[in-house]
Structure 1
Amino acid sequence: MEKNKKFLAVLLTVALSGVLAACENSSEESSSQPASDNSAQNEDGGQTDRNSTDSEGNEAENSSGSSDNTQLNEQEDTDNSSAASNEGESVESTNDQNVSHESNKDEFLKKLNKMEEADRYAEAKTTTAELVEQEAERYRTWDEELNKIYGLLEEQLDKGQMDQLREEQRSWIQQRDEAAKKSSLRYKGGSMEPLEYVATQASLTRERCYLLVAKYMK
């Protein structure tokens, strides 16, 4: 009986010890868990704050860099536009100069070519009288054009050049009429004589127009 009591006492002691130990462990876990959670929260909060700060810093840096790049691009565009404008003005000025030097000559050459083409494809008349009138009209047209060219050269050439051209022109007019007379004498007394005379005048005047433009016009 004594032994049984001692054995029960030992069992009770062991059981109480286990219960106390379990209570202590539970208490320690309970006290340590909030600290761990708080630490985790603090750690997460700190990480969030750092991420937020880094994000704001990156956004600010990107915004600043973007603004700088935008200003730089705008400046480059302005410089390029200015350079293109200046280049365009320079090219336009150069073209204007070239046109001023070449336009009169080119204009008259094109005009003379059209006039000659019109003569070539003009419908030939049938009677001699009509042919004479047609050639006389051709001569008047070319002579008027020659006078226009001569008048323009008076404005372009200096005094020495113009004096020389004036003498050449007087001499050429005499030679033209003599050549026309000589050519027409082949048909002396015939109906073709006046036709040959005026036709020769027209052809020689046309050639003189081309010569003056090519030799003197600028």
Structure 2
Amino acid sequence: MKKNQMFLIGMSTALFVILAACGNSSAESSTTLEKQKENESIQHTDDDSFNSESTETDSKNDKTNTNTSDTKNNVTNKVDSNDTNENVDTPDNENKKEELPKNNTVSKKEEYVTKLNDTKKKTDEMRENPLDDSTYALKKVEGDRYDIWDGLLNEIYGVLGEQLPSEEMEQLREEQREWINYRDKTAKEASLKYEGGTEEHLEYVVVENNLTEERCFELVEKYMK
């Protein structure tokens, strides 16, 4: 009787141990399955996020490429437009070209006519505004005027030597010698009315200056080009 009880107790204990072991195994299996499901869910979520980011990146790249292409096209169009504007002559541009003077160069003759007029104005003011009314002050003015006009006469004569043919220039030299004799003779005759007086030399220089001024205008008008 006691042996049967002991056997039953042993069998019960063994059965309990087996059931407990099965329960733990089932729990571990369940836990493992749950962990696998969680890992799969996380991996799926990561894949979706990666795919979403890739899609956004591709979209941005497409937009960037599109903008870059548009920018290049705009630049090209502007360059083409500028080239077209520069190369095409409109009627207004053609008219402006026609209105431009063909020759803006001032001739020597025009240059010296202006120079002579300016010099005459300057020397006339000198004669009208001496330091005082004394003979000495008047002689000083006429001496300064002579330096100006005689220097300008020599300058004009040098320009004509470059412009005129040799034969014509030789004739002008002879003419100039005769003019110098004429100037000196005329000035001398004019001064004789003050012979022996303080104004004799003054009158001589005044006439000499007037004739030299006239000769400068004559040479420019008659010979200069």
TM over 0.5, shorter chain: yes
Moved over 3 A (4+): 74-77, 81-92
Distance 1:198 1:90, change over 3 A: same
| TM-score normalized with structure 1 length | 0.58
Q: Is residue 2:94 matched to residue 1:78?
A: no
Aligned-partner Cα distance in 1 for 2:124–2:182:
25
Q: Which structure ranks higher in relative contact order (CA pairs < 8 Å, sequence separation ≥ 6)?
A: 1
Counterpart Cα distance in 2 of 1:132 and 1:77: 67
Residue 187 (structure 2) aligned to one of 180, 187, 198: 180
1:113 matched to 2:117? The reply is yes
Show CA shifts across 1:96-155 (max 9, x none). 4xx2xx431122111111111112222123211221121011011100000000000100
- Which residue of 1 is the match for residue 29 of structure 2? none
The structural deviation recorded for 1:81 is 6.4
Distance 2:181 2:158 in 1: 19
Query: Which amino acid in the other structure matches residue 111 of structure 1?
Result: K
Deviations 1:68-87 (A, max 9, x none): xxx99x76862416995897
The Cα offsets for residues 150-192 of structure 1, whole Å up to 9 and x where unpaired, read as: 0001001111111111111111011000000000001111111
The structure richer in helix per residue is: 1
CA distance in 2, matches of 1:111, 1:81: 42
Which of 98, 104, 108 is the equivalent residue of 1:104?
108
Partner of 2:103: 95
The residue aligned with 1:138 is: 145
Contact 1:146 1:209 in 2 (8 A): yes
- What is the identity, as a one-letter code, of the residue corresponding to 1:95? N
Provide the identity percentage: 42
Which letter does structure 2 place at the counterpart of 1:119? T
User: Which one of the candidate residues 188, 195, 220 is aligned to 1:213?
Assistant: 220
Q: Which residue of 1 aligns with 2:208?
A: 201
Residue 197 of structure 2 aligns to a residue in which SS? coil
Pairing 1:128–2:135 present: yes
Unaligned runs of 5+ in 1: 1-70
TM-score, length-normalised on structure 2? 0.56
Unaligned ranges ≥5, structure 2 = 1-79
Rounded to whole Å, the distance in 2 between the matches of 1:154 and 1:83 is: 46
Q: Are positions 1:167 and 2:171 aligned together?
A: no
The amino acid of 1:148's aligned partner reads: E
Q: Does the aligned pair in 2 maintain the 1:139–1:203 contact within 8 Å?
A: no
